[in-house]
């Protein structure tokens, strides 16, 4: 039997098999709010928020750096507009451990309090280290996360963009402090299968760490609306394969979607991530995108479909390493 939800290690927080990423909310440079995407407005975001929650997609991922805090601020506004709906929401945000933040405990607590203020909550369900860019040890980062937990400001803790080695190391440091590592948020999709083939997903499963899959529809490139003839707008440079190569993957998604009664390429791409035991957190800018993505739930690809998609998947060209990592 497949699970209906997962529990974040070290907490009683339950998350659905699919979440929502909110990087685009309030972001101009990559996602075009207030710029090239005139359809992305507070109104369209509110519709995406409502439609996701109503479909049971209640996990929302944000970060202090998204839109310079604007994504968190917008979530705070959504919560204020409809507290009853918001009561179902599981909130995840992130701390950017920039190399100059040498007093990492003080910096993390200060950032966290600022995030809580923007979100309008006394504590978050999941607090994540955004990437492996701190100059401080995993012990120092674990101390900072433990302090946040002891202060009652976070229910569960996670990391993002951590390699297998880094994941094992911080999990062990948290363990020494009586804490559990709940999640590692990584880029995982049919455009970047390397977390599976390289053993990171298996290591997460062994440690009881949930892999949250970001950019799971290839920053829009796996939805079928973009192609070599119609490339996506804006600066979407994760796993930036030539669109001719992406088109072949989308064709396979279409074929498999038809076999399942007309599932869309996005729904099939998300279902493949779910089949791998990871929790995809696709961005949604509108009600229709949120509803379509929620349609990845409630059905399952069969083993032949998964094998065909494994064959079509690309290994990925963006490495998880502190040297080349750029945030999103
Ligand atoms: N930890 C990290 O370092 C990191 C890095 C990146 C992302 N993330 C997180 O992961 C989340 C998701 O990743 P992402 O936003 O980069 O990429 P994504 O989820 O693969 O793609 C999202 C974009 O695809 C388009 N889209 C979404 N649903 C669609 C649908 N049903 N039909 C057609 N188009 C659709 C929208 O853009 P258009 O309509 O403009 O095409 C949307 O903004 C982020 O919001 C963020 O929370 C984390």
Cβ of 285 below 6 Å from ligand 1:
yes
Share of the chain above pLDDT 70, in %: 96
Average pLDDT (190-196) is 96
Whether residue 322 is predicted with pLDDT greater than 80 in this model: the reply is no
Query: Helix, strand or coil for residue 81?
Result: helix
Mean pLDDT of the chain: 95
For tokens 């948290």, name the residue.
174
**Residue 237: what pLDDT?**
86
Which whole-number Å values give the CA distances from 191 to 13, 183, 241, 313, 315, in the listed order? 30, 21, 8, 6, 7
**Residue 328: what pLDDT?**
72
Q: How far is the CA of 283 from the centre of ligand 1 (A)?
A: 3
Instruction: Give the chain's domains with CATH numbers.
Output: 14-312 (3.20.20.100)
Cβ of 265 below 6 Å from ligand 1:
no
To the query of whether residue 66 is one of the catalytic residues in this protein, the response is yes
The CA distance from 272 to 263, in Å, is: 12
**In which band, very low, low, confident or very high, does the pLDDT at 180 lie, cut at 50, 70 and 90?**
very high
Structure tokens at 109: 């607590």
Structure tokens at 35: 């710029």
| 9 and 209 Cβ atoms separated by less than 8 Å | yes
Question: Ligand 1, from 282, 288, 290, 296: best to mutate by most atoms within 8 Å of Cβ?
Answer: 282
Question: Ligand 1, from 63, 65, 210, 215: best to mutate by most atoms within 8 Å of Cβ?
Answer: 215
**Residue 318: what pLDDT?**
52
pLDDT digits (tens, 9 = 90+) for 24-68: 999 999 999 999 999 999 999 999 999 999 999 999 999 999 999
**Residue 325: what pLDDT?**
55
| 218 and 232 Cβ atoms separated by less than 8 Å | no
Cβ of 239 below 6 Å from ligand 1:
no
The CA distance from 248 to 260, in Å, is: 19
Q: How far is the CA of 107 from the centre of ligand 1 (A)?
A: 28
Backbone CA torsion sign across 286, 292, 296, 299:
positive
pLDDT digits (tens, 9 = 90+) for 108-136: 999 999 999 999 999 999 999 999 999 99
**In which band, very low, low, confident or very high, does the pLDDT at 240 lie, cut at 50, 70 and 90?**
confident
Cβ of 67 below 6 Å from ligand 1:
no
């Amino acid at each position: 039997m497949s699970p209906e939800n997962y529990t974040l290690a070290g907490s009683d927080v339950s998350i659905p098999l699919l979440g929502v990423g909110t990087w685009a909310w309030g972001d101009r440079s990559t996602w075009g709010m207030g710029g090239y995407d005139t359809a992305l407005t507070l109104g369209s975001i509110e519709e995406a928020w409502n439609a996701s929650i109503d479909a049971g997609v209640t996990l929302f991922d944000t970060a202090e750096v998204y839109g310079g805090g604007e994504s968190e601020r917008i979530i705070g506004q959504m919560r204020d507009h409809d507290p009853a709906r918001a009561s179902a929401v599981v909130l995840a945000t992130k701390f950017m451990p920039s190399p100059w933040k040498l007093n990492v405990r003080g910096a993390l607590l200060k950032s966290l309090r600022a995030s809580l203020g923007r979100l309008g909550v006394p504590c978050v369900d999941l607090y994540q280290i955004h990437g492996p860019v701190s100059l401080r040890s995993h012990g120092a980062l674990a101390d900072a996360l433990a302090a946040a937990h002891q202060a009652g400001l976070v229910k569960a803790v996670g990391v993002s963009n951590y390699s297998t080695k880094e994941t094992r190391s911080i999990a062990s440091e948290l363990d020494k402090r009586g804490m559990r590592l709940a999640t590692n948020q990584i880029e995982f999709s049919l455009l970047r299968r390397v977390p599976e083939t390289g053993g990171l997903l298996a290591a997460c499963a062994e440690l009881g760490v949930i892999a949250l899959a970001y950019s799971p529809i290839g920053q829009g490139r796996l939805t079928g609306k973009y192609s070599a003839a119609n490339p996506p707008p804006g600066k979407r440079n994760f796993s930036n394969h030539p669109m001719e190569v992406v088109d072949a993957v989308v064709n396979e998604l279409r074929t498999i979607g038809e076999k399942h009664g007309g599932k869309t390429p996005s729904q099939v791409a998300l279902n493949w991530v779910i089949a791998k035991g990871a929790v995809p957190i696709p961005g949604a800018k509108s009600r229709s995108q949120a509803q379509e993505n929620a349609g990845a739930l409630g059905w399952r690809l069969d083993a032949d479909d998964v094998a065909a998609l494994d064959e079509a998947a690309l290994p990925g060209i963006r490495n998880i390493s502190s040297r080349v990592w750029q945030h999103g």
